[in-house]
């Protein structure tokens, strides 16, 4: 374990340790007492015991992709798990043991070589730790569901520095929180045990790009076809600038997964036959793979940029196209994005008993993305103003893509919120673990 203290260390070395792995270039002015870089399970235990001895709180960083940089906290030892690397597949059970720092791309590469797959996040450089704790809205969700549903166990270093296993048979309340509790999790996950699946034989892509003048027709078409999906197809509507076009455009992108090529072709052909006329460009039923899709996502969410992000699950009764029109048509920079995706069919079935408890047919996320600090106020105001209007139609938000300080909403159901609070009281009664930045009782 390597430790860099704020007091007495070289300022350059401290700042490097404080900000390493952070994705958002909008770096917060919060300064941990120390950063402990760990490389093993025992290092994590030792770091927790050091925090106890020094009467400091504990924050955790696995991938560093949190847009609000939740891990960077005052009066805390930041335990950086980025150098703790572990990935091992049990070929009989299909369960993979993985450290929280592995990215979605790394886990997918490891599994694909072995003919397996797990619903990792869409952005390739997101660490699986925060992604899974937050719920995990990943690839092939219409078929596989929420990623956290497929956590079969977690190995946890508690706030007392003890190592425990949590699963459906033991420490069940801690296991319950691990599936959707996000940064409210009252411990440090050292290892996830995840149920993987046979890799689908077929993955196909179709897409349709239109200028913003066609927004209402195109979006309502996307809503209509999404309402018929029973499996296989993942659909998004993306508001963005296209190269060489001076106004925002709307893209409807579809990814289909499965083992029956003819069935997937038939599904995509039905969509192809109904798409609105005059797209700027479009593609149909093209072979693709997650490596290609990861590369496209990396281009859409560029590194070394400043981000301000928010999201909602919209009421099923919402006039989605009308409510989201300002978001899709008033992007403040050429790199900013508005995104809608349908969660049908998984939104139509009850969730398992777990902390994750927010979902609806419609998920919407807003990403202000820019480079120059002089645009901070303009971009953040745009997100806040758009979300103020959209939030009227919200039933809650997804933990993975927001800043708790920007807006108050529901992140868990009322019953689940009470269970989270009770679990935190049992496992971390002294509030040693830094919780949800800016979220009341989960960050005392």
pLDDT digits over 222-259, tens only? 999 999 988 789 999 999 999 999 999 999 999 999 99
Element (H, E) at 78: strand 76-80
Q: Which pLDDT score, from 0 to 100, does residue 441 have?
A: 60
C-alpha span between 197 and 347 (Å, rounded): 21
* φ, ψ of residue 296 in degrees (nearest 5): -65, -40
Tokens representing residue 280 in the block: 């700027």
Q: Which pLDDT score, from 0 to 100, does residue 232 have?
A: 80
Sign of the C-alpha dihedral computed for residues 234, 239, 243 and 247 taken in this order? positive
Tokens representing residue 39 in the block: 């490389």
- CB contact at 8 A, 187 and 424: no
Q: Which pLDDT score, from 0 to 100, does residue 440 have?
A: 66
Running DSSP on this structure, what letter comes out for residue 30? Answer: -
Chain-centroid distance of CA 160 in Å reads 28
Residue ranges in the chain modelled with pLDDT below 70: 440-444
Residue 51 burial by Cβ neighbours in a 10 Å radius (0-12, 13-18, 19+) = buried
C-alpha span between 70 and 83 (Å, rounded): 19
C-alpha span between 442 and 431 (Å, rounded): 9
Q: Which residues pair with 252 in a beta bridge?
A: 208, 237
C-alpha span between 256 and 252 (Å, rounded): 13
C-alpha span between 140 and 142 (Å, rounded): 6
Sign of the C-alpha dihedral computed for residues 217, 223, 229 and 234 taken in this order? positive
Beta strands in 170-280 (DSSP E): 187-195, 197-198, 202-211, 233-240, 249-258
Running DSSP on this structure, what letter comes out for residue 369? Answer: E
Q: Which pLDDT score, from 0 to 100, does residue 22 have?
A: 95
Task: Find, among 433, 435, 395, the residue nearest to 414 by Cα.
Answer: 395
C-alpha span between 139 and 25 (Å, rounded): 26
For the whole model, what pTM was predicted? 0.95
Tokens representing residue 106 in the block: 């790394």
* Measured CA distances, 178 to 134, 136, 137, 212 (Å): 8, 11, 15, 41
Residue 13 burial by Cβ neighbours in a 10 Å radius (0-12, 13-18, 19+) = exposed
Tokens representing residue 119 in the block: 């619903």
């Amino acid at each position: 374990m390597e430790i860099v203290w704020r007091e007495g260390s070289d300022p350059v070395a401290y700042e490097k340790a404080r900000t390493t792995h952070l994705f958002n270039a909008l770096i917060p002015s919060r300064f941990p007492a120390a950063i402990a870089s760990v490389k093993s399970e025992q290092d994590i235990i030792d770091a927790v015991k050091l925090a106890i001895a020094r009467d400091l709180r504990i924050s955790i960083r696995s991938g560093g992709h949190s847009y609000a940089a939740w891990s960077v906290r005052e009066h805390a030892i930041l335990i950086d798990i980025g150098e703790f690397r572990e990935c091992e597949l049990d070929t009989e059970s299909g369960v993979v043991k993985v450290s929280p720092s592995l990215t979605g791309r790394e886990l997918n590469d490891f599994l694909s070589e072995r003919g397996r797959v797990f619903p990792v996040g869409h952005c390739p450089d997101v660490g699986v730790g925060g992604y899974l704790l937050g719920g995990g809205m990943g690839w092939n969700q219409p078929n596989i569901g929420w990623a956290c549903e497929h956590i079969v166990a977690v190995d946890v270093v508690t706030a007392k520095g003890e190592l425990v296993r949590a699963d459906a048979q033991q420490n069940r309340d801690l296991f319950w929180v691990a599936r959707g509790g996000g940064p409210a999790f009252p411990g440090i996950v050292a290892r996830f045990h995840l149920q993987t699946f046979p890799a689908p034989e077929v993955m196909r892509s179709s897409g349709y790009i239109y200028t913003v003048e066609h927004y209402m027709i195109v979006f309502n078409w996307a809503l209509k076809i999404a309402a018929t999906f029973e499996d296989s197809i993942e659909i998004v509507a993306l508001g963005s600038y296209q190269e060489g076009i001076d106004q925002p455009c709307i893209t409807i992108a579809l990814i289909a997964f499965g083992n029956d090529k003819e069935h997937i072709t038939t599904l995509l052909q039905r969509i192809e036959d109904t798409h609105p006329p005059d797209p700027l460009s479009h593609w149909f039923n093209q072979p693709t793979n997650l490596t290609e899709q990861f590369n496209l996502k990396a281009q859409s969410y560029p590194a070394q940029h400043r981000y301000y992000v928010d999201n909602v699950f919209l009421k099923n009764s919402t006039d989605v196209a009308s409510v989201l029109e300002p978001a899709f048509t008033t992007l403040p920079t050429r790199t900013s994005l508005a995104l809608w995706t349908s969660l049908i069919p998984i939104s139509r079935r009850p969730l398992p008993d777990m902390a994750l408890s927010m979902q609806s047919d419609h998920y919407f996320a807003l990403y202000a993305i820019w480079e120059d600090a002089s645009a901070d106020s303009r971009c953040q105001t745009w997100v806040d103003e758009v979300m103020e209007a959209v939030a009227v139609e919200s039933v809650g938000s997804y933990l993975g893509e927001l800043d708790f300080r920007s807006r108050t909403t529901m992140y868990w159901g009322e019953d689940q919120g009470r269970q989270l609070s009770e679990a935190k009281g049992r496992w971390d009664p002294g509030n040693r673990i830094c919780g949800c930045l800016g979220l009341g009782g989960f960050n005392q």
